[in-house]
Chains A and B, each alone.
Chain A
Amino acid sequence: MSVVISGMAVVSCLGTDTGDFTAGLPAGRTPGEPAALARVSEQDDEAFATSRRVRLRERSSVLAVGTVTKLLAGLDLSASPPARRGIVLGSAMASIDSYMIVSKGSLSGAKPYFVDHNRMPPGIMNYTSGQAAVKFDLHGPNVTVTAGRASGLTALTCGRRLVAAGRADIMLAGAFEEVTERRLRIEAAAGRSADGIAAGEGACVFALETADSARRADRPVLAELLATTAGYFATEAEAGATLTRTVERALRQAGVTPAEIRTVVRGTPGPGRLAGQESTVLAALAPDARIVDPASVVGDTWGASSAFGVAAAVAVPEGGLTLVTSIDPDGQVAACLVRPPAASPGDS
């Protein structure tokens, strides 16, 4: 079953409109010292406003639901009943701040149960997808996934499978992450901070449906989602080998050869051991492919990073068959092959 991307919304430090990202990506990094933080300024944008019905107590949820709002502003779902519309969102560690507020409240209050229980639902990771469902009447599958840096590609895989299995007509799938003081502290202590790359934040959400469904709704196809695969490594030295195997499975799943790859969107931000292995694998596999590095533009967006990889694959002009990779220090590896419609006649 051919599943396609028929909608995309991207919110990043480049701006709160998808066009800001597509225009800013090819320009690359502004020369000079990278900013320490690549944050989103969403204050003036109506899409990020909360209401009485949809209360978003974490800024990461605001970013994510705002991005869904942006996506649906240009996407008419009315042909599908609410039960046939679903959403799957990923992040590496959203909700931790609300979790901490409740836990610390219990530890420091006059009584251990004098906690702000309204912060408990946001302290559980599925809160954001649930609130997006409330805002847009998404009664279908409502999934939250987390797999470190691979969270974005994991969400796309999940959405693709649900559509392919006929569990929903349309799945909104994407990932989000916020820059917080606590996240930076945890990443630094864990030795995961990217070298020479600003910590970034934002969200990317895609609309996934079958090619038939897009045609019926008269929605233009942004890219065909040919394959998504994932693998694991237990020790860092094996990361390259796992990436090779994961990409090979993606190529088999898509029925294409490495020689057809025109563009590679790499997932590891900045220099480092994992980046070195990724470069070696990609150079051996697709030596002539153009390399795109979204982290150099939007910063290291962690749990959202591989969703930014897919967004870059869609945004790059004349990208042709594009491979998106992701490697997390925790061992999660993921790969994805997408093809924009413009390249289809030549490739197929």
Chain B
Amino acid sequence: MSNTDQARRNPSGRDEQQRVVVTGFGVVSSIGSGRDGFLAGLREGRCGAKPISRWDASGFPYYQACEVLDFEPGAVLERVEPKETGRVAGLAAAAARMAMDDAGFVLAQARAETGLIAIGTTCGESLELDGVAEAELRAESVRLSGETARLLSPGRLAATAAAELDLRDVETLTIPTACAAGNYAVAYGLDAIRAGEADFALCGGADAVNRMAFSGFFRMGAMAQERCRPFDRDRDGTMWGEGAAVVVLESLAHARRRGATIHAEVLGFQLNCDADHPTAPVGQRVAECIAGALADSAVDPAELDVVFAHATGTKASDPMEVKALRDVFGERELPPVVGLKSMIGHTMGAAGAHTCIAAMLAMRHGFLPPTVNFREADPDCVIDCVPNTSRPAEVRTVMVNSLGFGGNNAAVVLRRFDEQTPGSTPARGAVR
């Protein structure tokens, strides 16, 4: 292998056709939307929590969530009529449009290629479903309008993005793998590109704060009263967040041919399943998922500059995840472990993708986003969670964890794209 050839390979020894990079992203969140808005929100450590206002939650003793009130999909949609789509499909399509713009992807080129659109979700077109529930209660014989009925298929989340971008040779699928779905979508795009079955992939997720998930979690005692405080001794639950996040994936070779700006490389991932309780994660499986993602990426734990944890802020889940990380790290010191949900809420099927985007902004702008709302350390989660204030840091290699309902775990490893690094600082892991 020549030196030049070596330099073009990543830690796993993959060549430019097999290396998959992120060249753009679109993001809608409660702390800011678009590249600049989201970056500012992360840097300032904003918190999107406020009383639920999209539907009447006033009968609940408390009802905080991270809704997006300052962004309407219609502001960026060019082909799809916002009125003819549900809120969630509209958010997904808007994030896809923003991602392609951000990637500088000429749509005429995209139309001549083969693409993939994979959108993760937990609750699908949930606000419309809640509306149908209300209508069913009101009338004995329900007359569902054709307009509403056509919005309800969850497959439309991905299909609407294809309509917005006017793509034809594109595989569209919605991945309702609950709160791990965003990472599942990114993972799926990685394999499709490596297999040579897609020239580009739009991967991410979208969800809205809905009555079903809020009332169900409230009943389980899993909703935070005021704020989501991952790793805090007094954390009292998670908080739902609204939003969408989509990344553009392509092979390094394809990105170079386009002359695209490369934000990060997706080194690898691991998907696994607890195969146990639907809502209580199994620490051992989570540790296996984390270790598997590192092995797939040929990255040593010590190389991680930060872990973006799933960190929902519930009593049981946070210490389980910290312990799983410790099991993988062994004697090594844990890097900072950030809980992004403290800022944007738990954006469900979008959470993995939101977090991947936050990780790439951290790499590019040299800072660690904070875990906000943090007051007092919990002896069961002793970590540096970057409390309350972002701080400058060299961020090169990160892990993003997503753990979903049903025991679905997904961990993704991303690395800053530095032209010279692959050859000069080889990973300590399995370098070929």
Contacts and interface: CB of A to CB of B under 8 A. Distances in A.
B273 interface: yes
Nearest to B214: A106
A309 interface: no
Nearest to A187: B149
Interface string A85-99: 010000011001001
A69 interface: no
A212 interface: no
Nearest to B164: A234
A151 B155 contact: yes
Interface in A290-348: 328, 330-332, 334
B149 to A, nearest CB: 4
A279 B123 CA distance: 36
A107 interface: yes
B275 A139 contact: yes
A250 to B, nearest CB: 11
Contacts of A253: 197
Contact of A83 (B174, B272, B276, B405): B272
Contact of B172 (A121, A143, A232): A232
A165 B134 contact: no
B77 interface: no
Interface string A139-152: 11111111110110
A139 B273 contact: yes
Among B158, B197, B220, B407, residue most surrounded by chain A Cβ atoms (within 10 Å): B197
B301 interface: no
A147 B172 contact: yes
Contacts of A145: 173-176
Contact of A229 (B123, B142, B171, B195): B171
A112 B215 contact: yes
B287 to A, nearest CB: 12
A154 to B, nearest CB: 5
Interface stretch (A21-29, A124-132, A255-263, A267-275): A124-132
Contacts of B288: 83, 139
B155 A142 contact: no
B300 to A, nearest CB: 21
Contacts of B178: 124-126
Given A121-B278, A154-B173, A191-B146, A107 B273 contact: no
B377 interface: no
B273 A138 contact: yes
B168 A142 contact: no
Interface string B101-145: 000000000000010000000111000011011101100001111
28 contacts: A92-B153, A99-B212, A103-B211, A104-B133, A107-B211, A115-B216, A117-B220, A123-B216, A124-B176, A124-B406, A126-B177, A134-B275, A139-B274, A139-B288, A141-B271, A141-B272, A145-B174, A151-B155, A158-B188, A161-B188, A191-B146, A229-B171, A230-B172, A232-B172, A238-B168, A245-B168, A253-B197, A331-B163
Given A134-B407, A185-B144, A189-B144, 15 more contacts: A86-B271, A99-B123, A115-B219, A124-B122, A131-B406, A139-B273, A143-B271, A146-B175, A148-B155, A162-B191, A190-B150, A231-B171, A232-B168, A234-B166, A331-B163
Interface of A: 82-83, 86, 92-93, 96, 99-100, 102-108, 111-115, 117, 119-121, 123-127, 129-131, 133-134, 136-148, 150-151, 154, 157-158, 161-162, 164-165, 167, 185-187, 189-191, 229-234, 238, 241-242, 245-246, 249, 253, 328, 330-332, 334
